[in-house]
């Protein structure tokens, strides 16, 4: 049985992540979407909010499990008996980062193989930070994320008010 882990921050999950998850689940027996929950960076959404959104989106996919995790991703893979780690590749800058991460992870745990899927061109520009920034400025993200994510971000930014300190809003505003 092949068990794969698709790790990430998912702050929030968007259509690019969902596409990678749906394509990779066809290749394996079980896909564990692992939501990183001990932040090194400032997250907009709490671990429970991020996990809850992913769970809602994949509730009708019996081969997909959603869990939170912390610490080294390869250690988590070992702990749950996963042989494969899934990553998504967008642009060349992703490649360099993922290449280094894959080699470092392989040094730590040679038994876990990294499987990188190329993004669907429709989602190639999408990142969680782009989604957060557009949403924080009241832009339309309905083509980038599922309805549940759109609602969650709308409420989050409403609660934070105009001067939210979390998101640096420079790209889409200037
Ligand atoms: P991380 O904090 O590990 O970067 P993310 O939640 O940003 O976590 O992303 C998780 C994975 O999804 C990474 O492998 C990333 O490259 C991939 N990914 C992010 N956005 C896209 C996209 N638009 N298309 C394909 N893969 C993507």
147 carries an active-site annotation: no
Instruction: Give 66's pLDDT tier (boundaries 50, 70, 90).
Output: very high
Predicted pLDDT at 38: 73
DSSP state of 28: S
170 carries an active-site annotation: no
Instruction: Give 49's pLDDT tier (boundaries 50, 70, 90).
Output: very high
Predicted pLDDT at 41: 64
14 carries an active-site annotation: no
Residues 78 and 140 in one domain: no
Residues 92 and 18 in one domain: yes
- For residue 5, give the H/E element and its range: strand 3-8
Could you tell me the pTM of the whole model? 0.92
How many A from CA of 153 to the centre of ligand 1?
18
Predicted pLDDT at 65: 98
Instruction: Give 135's pLDDT tier (boundaries 50, 70, 90).
Output: very high
Residue of 6, 8, 96 best suited for mutating to test ligand 1, as the one with most atoms within 8 Å of CB: 8
Beta strands in 19-138 (DSSP E): 30-36, 64-69, 84-89, 113-118
50 carries an active-site annotation: no
| Contact yes or no for 52/12 (Cβ under 8 A) | no
Say what percent of the chain tops pLDDT 90: 83
Q: Mind listing the pLDDT tens digit for each residue in 139-158?
A: 999 999 999 999 999 999 98
Integer CA distances (angstroms), 114 to 53, 102, 131, 151, in order: 25, 6, 26, 33
- Dihedral class, residue 10 (left if φ above 0, else alpha if ψ from -120 to 50, else beta): left
Predicted pLDDT at 145: 98
Domain span including residue 137:
128-160
Residues 53 and 116 in one domain: yes
Q: Mind listing the pLDDT tens digit for each residue in 28-44?
A: 999 999 999 876 567 99
**Phi, psi dihedral angles at 11 (to 5 degrees):** -115, 65
- Residue 167 lies inside a defined structural domain of this protein: no
Residues 50 and 105 in one domain: yes
Instruction: Give 160's pLDDT tier (boundaries 50, 70, 90).
Output: confident
**What is the atom index within ligand 1 of the atom nearest the CA of 87?**
14
Q: Does 126 contact ligand 1 (Cβ within 6 A)?
A: yes
Catalytic residue from among 9, 50, 123, 128:
128
Average pLDDT over residues 122-140: 94
pLDDT beyond 70 at 168:
no
How many A from CA of 162 to the centre of ligand 1?
28
Q: Does 12 contact ligand 1 (Cβ within 6 A)?
A: no
Residues 93 and 151 in one domain: no
Summary mean pLDDT of the chain: 92
């Amino acid at each position: 049985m092949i068990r794969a882990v698709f790790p990430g921050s998912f702050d929030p999950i968007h259509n690019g992540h969902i596409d990678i998850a749906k394509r990779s689940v066809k290749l394996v027996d079980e896909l564990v979407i692992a939501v990183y929950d001990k932040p090194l960076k400032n997250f907009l959404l709490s671990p429970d909010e991020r996990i809850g959104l992913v769970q809602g989106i994949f509730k009708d996919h019996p081969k997909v499990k959603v869990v939170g995790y912390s610490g080294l991703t390869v250690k988590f893979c070992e702990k749950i008996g996963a042989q494969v780690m899934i990553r998504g590749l967008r642009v060349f800058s992703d490649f360099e980062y993922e290449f280094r991460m894959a080699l470092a992870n392989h040094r730590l745990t040679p038994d876990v193989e990294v499987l990188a899927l190329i993004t669907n061109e429709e989602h190639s520009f999408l990142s969680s930070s782009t989604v957060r920034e557009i949403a924080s400025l009241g832009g339309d993200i309905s083509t980038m994320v599922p309805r549940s994510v759109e609602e969650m971000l709308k409420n989050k930014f409403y609660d934070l008010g105009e001067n939210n300190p979390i998101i640096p809003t420079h790209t889409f505003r200037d």
